[in-house]
Amino acid sequence: MTKHLLSFGHGFSARALTPLLLDQGFAITGTTRSDDKAKALKATGVTPKIWPGADLREELASATHLLISAAPGADGDPVLNALREDITKHAPNLEWVGYLSTTGVYGDANGDWVDESSPLNPATKRGQMRVAAEADWQSIANLPLHIFRLAGIYGPGRGPFSKVRAGTARRIIKKGQVFSRIHVEDIAQILAASIARPNPGAIYNMCDDDPAPPQDVIAHAAELLGMPLPPEVDFETAEMTPMARSFYAESKRVRNDLIKFELGVKLLFPDYRAGLASLLELERRSGEV
């Protein structure tokens, strides 16, 4: 039987996983919201479906794997809201289900370490919705569910270089603030490792080995570019969008031992220095700089 991944919200992280699974002979169906994005997915070997809108009962019936990247809203998880019965009653071949959540479910730890067993105490509405969505997926009996809690995602096209070059980057200073982060290629290899070694009920943190103050990352990006350090700005007086400011409501260091010991993952980019150097080299090879 052909392995078939049905991916809801086939975005940045799922696209990085795509070539790894195609190389293994998977068929991949990915949902998106626009015709333009559907065309782009098709060019990568993914069968696109515009959803909400498309009837996915046939895809669910043949799916061996589900990946859920779609974010929850105030009314809950959009996939379960629309397709709970089809998933629970009409998807008989499921071997693995992956739900992409966030380390925001842990809330603020005042810079201390958290792991998968830490209490869930989100400090933001987004984090609260993720906790509710995780519980909703976990409530489905006999579903081979795996939850992945992602730190801040970066990768090609999603890094600090453009802002540094444009002169708009700032080093926001908030005492004791640290973030964990994860390169999208490491997200892909962790998901592939879990698919190869299913453990229903498992929860994994996805992050690198080096939680760091955000201003250090900006400073290192400027150093790599040979540009002056962006200015320091005090968090309390910084002009920021409410969304950007909300990220600073939480400070924690996230442990990633399980992905190493249980899944055998060796991170491609164990810290932001390795990740940023790789992104810059990729830009140079592609002629973008």
pLDDT, tens digit, for every residue of 83-132? 999 999 999 999 999 999 999 999 999 999 999 999 999 989 999 999 99
Whether residue 283 lies inside any domain: the answer is no
Predicted confidence at residue 289, as pLDDT, reads 56
Q: Rounded to an integer, what distance in angstroms lies between the CA atom of residue 221 and that of residue 287?
A: 18
Burial class (CB within 10 angstroms; exposed 0-12, middle 13-18, buried 19+) of 144: middle
Residue 160 lies in a domain: no
SS (H, E, C) 51-74: CCCCCCHHHHHHCCEEEECCCCEC
Mean pLDDT of the chain: 96
Segment 51-90, tens digit of pLDDT: 999 999 999 999 999 999 999 999 999 999 999 999 999 9
> Where are the extended beta strands (E) located within 115-237?
145-150, 152-154, 171-173, 181-183, 203-206, 232-234
Strand partners, 84: none
pTM, whole model, 2 decimals? Answer: 0.96
Nearest to 9 by CA among 73, 96, 62, 74: 73
> Residue 115 domain-assigned?
yes
- The answer to whether residue 227 sits within a structural domain is no
Domain that holds residue 140: 4-155+181-209+254-270
Asked, for residue 15, whether it belongs to a domain, the answer is yes
CATH number of the domain within which 101 lies: 3.40.50.720
Q: Please tell me the distance from the alpha carbon of residue 221 to that of residue 161, in angstroms, as a whole number.
A: 6
The reply to whether 126 falls in a domain is yes
In a domain, 248, yes or no: no
When divided into structural domains, the chain yields a total of: 1
